[in-house]
Amino acid sequence: MNIRAEVYSTLLETLRRMGGKALEQNLLDELRARGLELMPEILRQVLLKLEMHEKVRVISLDAERKLIELIEA
């Protein structure tokens, strides 16, 4: 498995374990706890790709906070 695929699968699995939705900062913290250190800019690139493939939905709550929801089970 290449590194990019590992990031995608770890992110999706982490979201599943968090109940299918999480604030962006909470997701970053949880990924870090699982050993996956991502810069916020990289996380947003990964989320954009997953959003394009209809795996997640990213909702801006305000200028700072974003809610990430899992679409696929």
Looking at the structure of the chain, the number of domains it has is 1
Bridge partners (DSSP) listed for residue 56: 70
The pLDDT, as a whole number, for residue 5 is: 86
Q: What angle do CA 59, 5, 37 make, to 5 degrees?
A: 70
CATH number of the structural domain spanning residue 57: 1.10.10.10
Domain of residue 41: give its range: 3-70
The pLDDT, as a whole number, for residue 72 is: 66
* pTM given for the model: 0.88
In the chain, the amino acid numbered 68 is I
- What are the tens digits of pLDDT across the range 12-60? 999 999 999 999 999 999 999 999 999 999 999 999 999 999 999 999 9
